[in-house]
Amino acid sequence: MMQLYGVRGWGSGIAEAMLCLADVPYDFIDVEGFDQPGAARDRLDAVNPLCQVPALVLDDGTVMTETAAIALLLADSYPALAPPRNTPDRALFYRLLVWLVANVYPTFTYGDYPERWAPSSPSELVTATDQYRQSLHLWLEDQAREPFLLGDSVSAVDIYVAAMVNWRPRIAWFRENTPRLTRIAERTSALPALASVMQANGWRSDNNA
């Protein structure tokens, strides 16, 4: 059985939701606190010396990191995660998947730990990355179809949306500024295959945080 090393509410929850949508059995190994020295970090370091989550240990012992890489790997075997191969929607899936991790994710990498990157002005870095992230969400709103991001069928990129509306700038901002993304998040979170994992990660579209 696959083993997923992660922390509830973090980006590893996206990989966990992918496994649930694809109906793949897995063991979840909680490494909360891994970003500080201690037992959790040691557990994660044993499988992923980068000490980042998610870390997915496959049945054959291969270790996969990076949610986009995990999505692409799983999509090869589980059609529920992506549109059919050799279609325009599959191409759009690739584009938006890589766009999300190449553009939105770095704003958290730097904005969540500003003292590492801008020790003389951490608050300025947080403000700048938060504002840039909002502009990225507005761009994605313009690209969004409905009922899901790519149209009629759910895919792994919808899981990113369902997670991200719970992160800064928080759900109230999304409701006011990106109604399509908000509705997509609501539909995705309510899917029977995902309801439990979304709740476990604290990702509910009706969250008022």
pLDDT at 204: 72
Average pLDDT taken over every residue of the chain: 95
pLDDT digits (tens, 9 = 90+) for 59-117: 999 999 999 999 999 999 999 999 999 999 999 999 999 999 999 999 999 999 999 99
Neighbours of 123 (CB within 10 A): 10
For 175-184, what is each residue's pLDDT tens digit? 999 999 999 9
CA distance 144 to 135: 15
In this structure, the answer to whether residues 71 and 126 fall within a common structural domain is no
Residues 144 and 61 in one domain: no
Q: Which residue has tokens 């990225």?
A: 136
Report the length, in residues, of the chain. Answer: 209
Same domain, residue pair 117 and 164: yes
pTM: 0.94
Contact 193, 48 (CB under 8 A): no
Cis preceding linkage at 122, omega within 30 = no
User: Dihedral through CA 167, CA 169, CA 174, CA 177, nearest 10?
Assistant: -160
- What CATH number is associated with residue 74? 3.40.30.10
